[in-house]
Amino acid sequence: MAKEKGQDMNFIRIMGTDIKAESTLLYGLSKIKGVNIMASNGICTVLKLDKTRKVSSLSEKEIETLENYLSSGEFTGLPLWLSNLRKDPVTGNDMHLVGKDLDYYKMQLERKLSKIKTYRGLRLRLRLPVRGQRTKANFRRNKTIAAMKSKSGGKK
């Protein structure tokens, strides 16, 4: 699973993310979407893995246990404040989403909000700030350029 044929041995693949083999486990796990340094530290503690170990030194069994723990959605043994989805509006459960599950949940939430035409959903659709920030100076990267220079270079 981690060391497939044709895959470069400089990277180890965990939860669909390529992690540099020479990085330590603490910082390597934080490269996975949805896992920050604090969650990575907690995962290493719960699974009794050395944080200073290189990612390349993980065995197939350890990688499999890591992936099972991350994909379960519940970080058992970790404090509740560490999860990224507390009190899910649909189920009411506390979960921690990682990787593609996090992307899918975010996409579904944005669709739902824009479908019921909430203020937040409309702002998300227009790619504007949602939480009350001012837009005069910031958030200009999402708008099209109104006045482009002419290709003729100013010739009359």
On whether both 15 and 77 belong to a single domain, the answer is yes
Q: Please write the tens of the pLDDT for every residue from 96-146.
A: 888 888 888 888 888 988 889 999 888 888 888 888 888 888 777 655 655
Q: Does any domain span residue 42?
A: yes
Residue type, 79: P
DSSP state of 51: T
- Residue 103: which residues within 8 A CB-CB, separation 6 or more? 33
On whether both 71 and 115 belong to a single domain, the answer is no
On whether both 20 and 76 belong to a single domain, the answer is yes
**pTM value?**
0.68
Helix (H) or strand (E) holding 54: none
Q: Does any domain span residue 124?
A: yes
On whether both 15 and 69 belong to a single domain, the answer is yes
Residue among 80, 116, 110 at smallest CA distance from 95? 80
Q: From the CB of residue 3, how many other CB atoms can be counted at a distance below 10 Å?
A: 13
Residue 49 sits in a domain whose CATH number is 1.10.8.50
Q: How far is CA 7 from CA 3, 13, 17, 33, in A?
A: 7, 9, 13, 21
- CA–CA separation, 128 and 142 (whole Å): 8
- CA–CA separation, 26 and 54 (whole Å): 9
Q: Please write the tens of the pLDDT for every residue from 41-84.
A: 988 998 898 889 898 888 899 889 988 888 887 777 888 888 88
Q: Please write the tens of the pLDDT for every residue from 8-18.
A: 578 888 888 88
Number of domains forming the structure of the chain? 2
Q: What is the pLDDT of residue 5?
A: 47
- Domain containing residue 67: 11-81
